[in-house]
Structure 1
Amino acid sequence: MKTLLHPAYLPNIQTFAKIVSEEICWEVEDNFQKQTFRNRCYIGTDQGKHMLSIPIKHVGGSQGRQKFKDVVLDYSGMWSRQHWRTLQTAYRTSPFFEFYEDELAPIFEKQHKFLLDLNLFAIETICDCLQVEMPENKTEEFILHPEKLNDQRVLVNAKKKTVVDFPVYNQVFGDRHGFLPNLSIVDLLFNEGTSALSYLKQLDI
């Protein structure tokens, strides 16, 4: 049975563990919701857990809700450059930052019109780094309670508390803030490098 997931922005470790271990179908027909991992992620910095949030162009008035796939990115504040600089500052001393730097840079250099396209491109880029195949299946209609899919769309909820036991790995500022579990996949990639895939596959999710 395929697992139904939202293509989040630089997904967290729990979500990526499913991407590399299960057959995925991307939810692309739902409505956009605020305060979710659709347009945000968390990384570890010298200040502790830090959120990277993507600004979008909101629709208003009579338009009401909009489809996730129709959400347009707002580049007026140059957020992509800021996100990349924040990642460089946070992880430049990590063991594998220089190893993956050139591969991940295009995520922040290429300007996509739609949030969905950016997220899928970022996930595909990270899949390439992990040397796993990028899931291609997408939904064709929105189904509230799908019977033929393992519905894991709740993982996009940024307020949901995870119950997964994440094994400790070395983090850049671990001596200062302790271990920060389930950050963006980039935290695991920069700190664990070629061991990241083994870590993901060993998670009990």
Structure 2
Amino acid sequence: MKIAISQSNYIPWKGYFDNIALVDEFVLYDDMQYTKRDWRNRNKIKTPHGLKWLTIPVEVKGKFYQNINKTKISEVSWSIKHLNILKQNYKKARCYNDVIDFIESMYLSATQVTISEINHHFLSHICNYLDIDTKISFSSDYRLLEEGKTERLVDLCKQLNATEYYTGSAAKNYMDESLFTSENIDVKYFDYSNYAEYDQLYDDFEHAVSILDLIFNEGHNAKYYLKHCKK
């Protein structure tokens, strides 16, 4: 049983979807603290004037502890604004006419209340478009986790009967891998190198942008630019 646990991102980059495709269950770590100016509620797209952040406005109550799954959207019209920005900047993309109905439907149905639910909405729809059928769940769906950064992850893996745990290489800086080993869980690290370039709009090629950039430019061939799916 292969498991990955990650905080949810808004319309994340292609590597995030490779992570999802690689495992049997992808757990959104939604009962963790929401952090400002992070990937939870924003991501980048390309424009004729350079990279641009698309940010979902959320309610943040001062400096108090606030979980991701309790963080609410603060402006109901955000989805229309983002959709219009995408249309404006990708109208010349090669597959615009093929994908705009899918993109528009996804945004017009994004009426959820919290950022956690919104992200799950987009992740689910995009995974379906990319033919990724991995189960996506929330950490809050499971029983109360143990205290400690690594202990919580191990506990969640045990509840899922995981034999392999996948994570990013940055986790090496804070994670105690021996706690997984003691529970007979192998730790694997994602490889984000050597992604193929595609016919992208505007200036120099940029990998670190939303998956929507790839979809606008490559349409249903987008999945072939992910590592798990080759032609």
Question: Which of the five TM-score ranges fits, normalised by the shorter chain?
Answer: 0.7 to 0.9
Question: TM-score, normalised on structure 2?
Answer: 0.74
Please state how far the C-alpha of 1:134 moved relative to its aligned partner: 4.8
- 1:44 and 2:46 aligned: yes
Q: Secondary structure at the match of 2:82?
A: helix
Choose from 149, 152, 168 the match for 1:144: 149
Of structures 1 and 2, the larger Rg is shown by 2
User: Structure 1: 5+ residue runs without aligned partners?
Assistant: 156-161
Looking at structure 1, the residues matched to 6 and 213 of structure 2 have their Cα atoms a distance apart, in angstroms, of 21
Q: CA–CA distance in 2 between the matches of 1:102 and 1:153?
A: 36
Question: Is 1:124–1:134's contact at 8 Å kept on the other side of the alignment?
Answer: no
Matches for 1:142-181 after TM superposition, within 5 Å: 144-145=149-150, 146-147=153-154, 148=157, 149-152=165-168, 164-173=193-202, 177-181=203-207
Aligned partners of 1:49 and 1:36: how far apart in 2? 16
Distance 1:153 1:85, change over 3 A: farther
Residue type of the alignment partner of 1:192: E
Matching residue within 169, 191, 195 for 2:217: 191
Residues 1:10 and 2:11 are matched in the alignment: yes
Corresponding position of 1:29: 31
The aligned counterpart of 1:200 is 226
CA RMSD of aligned residues (A): 2.4
Q: 2: distance between equivalents of 1:151 and 1:168?
A: 24
* Structure 2 Cα separation of the partners of residues 107 and 74 of structure 1: 19
Structure 1 residues 49 and 107: alpha-carbon distance in aligned structure 2, compared to 1, 3 A threshold: same
Report the CA distance shift for 1:124/1:134 in structure 2 as closer, same or farther (over 3 A): farther
CA shift, 1:163, in A, is 6.2
d(CA) in 2 for partners of 1:13, 1:120: 16
Percent of residue pairs bearing the same amino acid type: 21
Provide the secondary structure at the position in 1 that maps to 2:39.
coil
Is contact 1:166–1:182 with CA below 8 Å preserved after alignment?
no
Aligned CA distance change for structure 1 residues 88 and 33 (closer, same or farther; 3 Å)? same
> Aligned equivalents of 1:186 and 1:172: distance in 2?
12
Question: Between Structure 1 and Structure 2, how many residues are aligned?
Answer: 191
TM-score by length of 1: 0.83
Correspondences of 1:9-158 after superposition (within 5 Å):
9-23=10-24, 24-60=26-62, 64-75=64-75, 78-110=77-109, 111-139=111-139, 140=142, 141=144, 144-145=149-150, 146-147=153-154, 148=157, 149-152=165-168
Contact 1:3 1:25 in 2 (8 A): yes
**Is this contact kept in 2: 1:20–1:200, CA < 8 A?**
no
Q: Tell me by how many angstroms 1:154 deviates.
A: 6.0
